Amino acid sequence: MGNPFGKITDINRVMELFQDGSTIMFGGFGGVGSPPTIIDGILDKGVKDLTLIGNDTGFPNIGIGKIVSQGRAKKVIASHIGSNPIAGQLMTKGELEVEFSPQGTLAERIRAGGVGLAAILTDIGMDNEMVSKNKPIYSFHGKEYFVEAALTAEIGIIYAKKADPYGNLIYDKSARNTNPLVAMAADITIAEVEEIVPLGSLDPDEVVTPGIFVDYLIPSKGVNWKWAWE
């Protein structure tokens, strides 16, 4: 019997979605919670000129940092790049555009994109030219805020501990980080998962990301899901 659920696929199938110039939003915090199989697939395909949106640029050989370190990204929107010195070198040489956004603001911009808002108001970074430069100011209740645009992406890549065939997801402790927000804010969301369980096996109260936000499920390296639908 084949896969009757549609969302369950493999890395080769989803790689067709990635093209030069794609905008990719990724889950993860310093590499923890980033999808390693998908990231390696992007590297193997050789796509370039990517715009990456996520918390940070990982480490040179960990997480999304592997893509950045190979010069595959033209722009990064992140809260910091300090853990990846190659990202800093590329930025200094003018080979990587970096838009910095305070971590909480970045998370809220992604959440706003996921729920259909155009922008948010915040006063975080009002005294920091790197954050506030060229952003419109709005006065509300006698206080000034600047406008931060919501963030969305063509493709979102996330990592989860467990899924059922409909794409309902459970995360592993702190590896949850920004993954649920990214799942909401991308046109197409691809979840790399360590384990898939039969329908009805997940406690509804444990589900963090409903399957409605997930388009494709792929197994993490070394995982065999075939039994789940046979």
What is the CATH number for 189?
3.40.1080.10
Count of domains forming the chain: 1
Contacts of 188 (CB under 8 A, 6+ apart): 17, 154, 155, 156, 215, 216
Long-range (24+ apart) CB contacts under 8 A made by 130-139 are 130/100, 131/100, 131/101, 131/102
Residue 143 belongs to a domain? no
Residue 129 belongs to a domain? no
In what side-by-side order are the strands of the sheet with 137-140?
119-122, 143-149, 137-140
Residue 126 belongs to a domain? no
Residue 183 belongs to a domain? yes
Full residue range of the structural domain in which residue 90 is found = 11-118+150-229
Tens-place pLDDT, residues 151-209? 999 999 999 999 999 999 999 999 999 999 999 999 999 999 999 999 999 999 999 99
Tens-place pLDDT, residues 97-120? 999 999 999 999 999 999 999 999
Residue 144 belongs to a domain? no
- DSSP lists the bridge partners of residue 119 as 149
d(CA 179, CA 111): 11
Which of 42-56, 80-94, 211-225 shows the lowest mean pLDDT across its residues?
A: 211-225
d(CA 180, CA 158): 8
Are residues 79 and 58 in contact, defined by beta-carbon separation less than 8 angstroms? no
Residue 4 belongs to a domain? no
Residue 157 belongs to a domain? yes
Residue 81, pLDDT > 50, answer yes
Which of 28-32, 134-138, 190-194 shows the lowest mean pLDDT across its residues?
A: 134-138
Residue 142 belongs to a domain? no
